Amino acid sequence: MTEIDTETFLADLYELRKIGRFRTGVHRPTFSLEDMQARRWLMTRLEECGLEASIDGIGNVLGRHRGPGPHLLVGSHIETQNEAGWLDGALGVVAGLALARAGLPVDVVAFADEEGHFSGGFLGSRSAIGDLTEGEIDAARNRTDGTPLRMALESAGLAGLSRMQLDPARYRGFLELHIEQGTQLEAAGQHLGVVSGIVAIWQFQILFEGNQDHAGGTTMIERRDAGLSAVRLLAAADWEFPKVCGPRSTWTTGRITLDPGGYSIIPGRAEVAFQFRDVSIPVLERMEACLEALVRESNRRERCTATLTALSKAIPAPCDPNLMRALSEAAEQVCPGRWQVMPSGAGHDAQNVARILPAAMLFVPSIGGISHHWAEDTCDADLVSGVRALGAAAKQVLAK
Ligand code: HGY
Ligand code: MN
Ligand code: MN
């Protein structure tokens, strides 16, 4: 088995954890000062591992192996959700560093904005496969503060840089080590998960427009309360979706913004950030049709108007069977009998890379299933098992 320097691997993870530290997690939104500091830290580490480091015009960081192929691409992302976990994404990138340090002919990548801080989502991995137009970059805005992506790229010093394009001929495939972000491995007492497929995330904005008015002077019969219309539609979706969804579908309202948001003011406007996920396109299409019908019914029944806008529709990805086989054999070597095959309920860059390269993922358990929260954590022993199995699988794929 390829000897991985697991001590330096852990040291790198804990070093990266210090950048943008927030309680026991990190806060490194895409193109923030902390994120750019992390990207510079990574470029230094990549060079120290003998790779040729670069950053491109959308913030992707690539460490290119200088020797002859065949190569594997290994990586993930290093920006995080707001006030979130230290391992989501970082684990896969630092694992790539460890494989390069062990002398494996790998390129290491940190794709930008996997976490979707900017409208459109998955900017970096979509750009790297040629699926991000200049027009989309022009139109993209930060989902929290509305900053235009062009302005954020300018402030980050990335404006005008060319954008990397992955060359499928250079790679045998793409491997991503990631935390599970759920409770299945922990509940089953397993230490590794070989991912079978990655869900697609379909994101929507639902806008409700009523009348801003006085909360006391306006009688119940004459008011047009956008907030009430919003919660009634969301409740209806929660009743209707189970009739059309799949066994592992999920749906989430991540944010309801009521304007103007005062105690004594009837909200004249409600903006809902809504998404649903599944591994099957027909299931996703059924859920979208159901949501569209609910919006039509809301417009028939409510005094407020509801407008549904699709913001992004990712493509689900089955993982490559050959890479899954290599990961399974490696998992059995590293944690005999303590691993399983499982789907990913989270979206990942691998689902975009899978559109041009064989791609697969390996999970390590999340303590308590917690993720997208500063308390996210995984024990060192599981982190080490993950990188050792990833190294063994990479070696096997490259030896063929
Ligand atoms: O939301 C997701 O599934 C990913 O962690 N961005
Ligand atoms: Mn992630
Ligand atoms: Mn995430």
- CATH number given to 6-199+316-399: 3.40.630.10
- Tell me which residue has its CA closest to atom 4 in ligand 1: 347
Tokens of 165: 């394009």
- Residues with Cβ within 8 Å of 313's Cβ and at least 6 positions away in sequence, in order, are 200, 202, 203, 284
Whether the pLDDT of residue 121 is over 90: the answer is: no
Q: Of the bound ligands, which one is closest to the alpha carbon of residue 116? A: 1
Q: Which residue has the tokens 């960081």?
A: 61
Whether the pLDDT of residue 341 is over 60: the answer is: yes
- Please state whether the peptide bond connecting residue 70 to the residue before it is cis, i.e. omega within 30 degrees of 0: yes
Percent of the chain predicted with pLDDT > 70: 100
For residues 11 and 376, what is the distance between their CA atoms, to the nearest angstrom?
18
Whether the pLDDT of residue 120 is over 90: the answer is: no
pLDDT per position as a tens digit, 132-176: 999 999 999 999 999 999 999 999 999 999 999 999 999 999 999
Q: Which ligand 1 atom is nearest residue 181's CA?
A: 5
Whether the pLDDT of residue 204 is over 90: the answer is: yes
Instruction: Please state the pTM of the whole predicted model.
Output: 0.92
Question: Is residue 347 in contact with ligand 1, taking CB distance under 6 Å?
Answer: yes
Tokens of 368: 């308590």
For residues 94 and 112, what is the distance between their CA atoms, to the nearest angstrom?
15
The conformation of residue 243, written as its DSSP 8-state character, comes to G
Average pLDDT in the 371-399 region? 98
Tokens of 372: 């997208």
Whether the pLDDT of residue 178 is over 80: the answer is: yes
Question: Is residue 92 in contact with ligand 1, taking CB distance under 6 Å?
Answer: no
For residues 201 and 30, what is the distance between their CA atoms, to the nearest angstrom?
19
Q: Of the bound ligands, which one is closest to the alpha carbon of residue 350? A: 2
pLDDT per position as a tens digit, 80-97: 999 999 999 999 999 999
Closest among 324, 368, 312 to 185, alpha carbons compared? 368
Task: Please list all protein residues whose beta carbon sits less than 5 angstroms from ligand 3, which is an ion.
Answer: 88
Q: How far does the centroid of ligand 3 lie from the alpha carbon of residue 374, in Å? A: 12
pLDDT per position as a tens digit, 51-68: 999 999 999 999 999 999
* Residue 400 confidence (pLDDT): 83
Q: Domain 200-313, what fold?
A: Alpha-Beta Plaits (3.30.70)
Q: How far does the centroid of ligand 3 lie from the alpha carbon of residue 283, in Å? A: 23
The conformation of residue 141, written as its DSSP 8-state character, comes to B
pLDDT band at residue 2, thresholds of 50, 70 and 90? Answer: low
Work out the number of other CB atoms within 10 angstroms of the CB of residue 16: 23
Whether the pLDDT of residue 46 is over 70: the answer is: yes
Q: How far does the centroid of ligand 1 lie from the alpha carbon of residue 254, in Å? A: 12
Domains in the chain: boundaries: 6-199+316-399, 200-313
Q: Of the bound ligands, which one is closest to the alpha carbon of residue 121? A: 1
Tokens of 50: 């003998």
Q: Which ligand 1 atom is nearest residue 116's CA?
A: 6
Residue 312 three-state SS: strand
- Tell me which residue has its CA closest to atom 3 in ligand 1: 346
DSSP 54-100: EE-TTS-EEEE--S-S-EEEEEE----STTB-SSTTHHHHHHHHHHH
Question: Is residue 115 in contact with ligand 1, taking CB distance under 6 Å?
Answer: yes
Whether the pLDDT of residue 379 is over 60: the answer is: yes
pLDDT per position as a tens digit, 320-335: 999 999 999 999 999 9
